[in-house]
Amino acid sequence: MSAKNFDTPEIVGLIPAGGQATRIAPLPCSKELYPIGFQQRKEGGSVPKVVSQYLLDKMRFAGISKAFFVLRPGKWDIPAYFGDGSMLNMHFAYLTITGPPFGVPFTLDHAYPFLSHVNVAFGFPDILFDSDDAFLKLLSRQSETRADLTLGLFPAEQSLKVDLVETTEDGWVKKMVVPPEDSNLIYTWNLATWTPAFTEDLHEFVRSHATAAMKGPELIAGHVVQSAVRDGLKVLGVPISDTPYLDIGTPRGLAAATRRAAERVL
């Protein structure tokens, strides 16, 4: 099964890379390029594999060949490393976001002029998870249900402050709980696919929250999903894995990822 089998419009990857990695600073590179494990070379031997390539490999597995990175100034090592994407048989473009970091929704909306007419496959480049066919699962369910937004769900580690998702028995998202609210829900999310309907909802969310964002705390991706549910968009949750994901943007997650890589289980 390939993404080419799904309904038009085209599917394009969207990858936010505007964070400053303050929780694991200082690093010798952008956290998206931190090496975790190794990959085999066609000509023999192995080379380090950077963390963001795990996400890109899953996009490519789903037949997604184009992706936008949204960067902040100073993270030029990312385009220097990946170039035009040909090293992964993909096509990459890079957008630079200027101004204060108001949060992931604003980073994603920076790509609005380029993505308003296509379906989007979204993931965080500093998060590791199993299931090579994760995006295929999301795209398949999105096509079957005509969902506007499809979330990839994972078991939540209760010790971490993450978005928590409540769904109906058939998967429709009823509620999104964002930190610091407490909840006994057991699922969180970290990747998604969506249609132009959600792209427009995201764009309106950013427009309507621009003034407040300048004065208040940074907004997170869960806020815009929460808003989409309230706005009546069709938001679906799809379980992707039985194991929690690893966020290498935290000291705990980076240590666990490094340890697993050493044990060759990534």
Domains of the chain, with CATH numbers? 3-262 (3.90.550.10)
Q: How far apart are CA 126 and CA 247, in angstroms?
A: 6
DSSP state of 185: -
Q: Which residue has the tokens 């978005």?
A: 163
Q: How far apart are CA 91 and CA 58, in angstroms?
A: 15
Query: What pLDDT, in 10s, does the model give residues 18-35?
Result: 887 688 888 999 999 999
Residue 216's pLDDT band (cuts 50, 70, 90): confident
Query: What pLDDT, in 10s, does the model give residues 102-142?
Result: 899 999 999 999 999 999 999 999 999 999 999 999 999 99
Which of 47, 88, 42 shows the shortest CA–CA distance to 69? 88
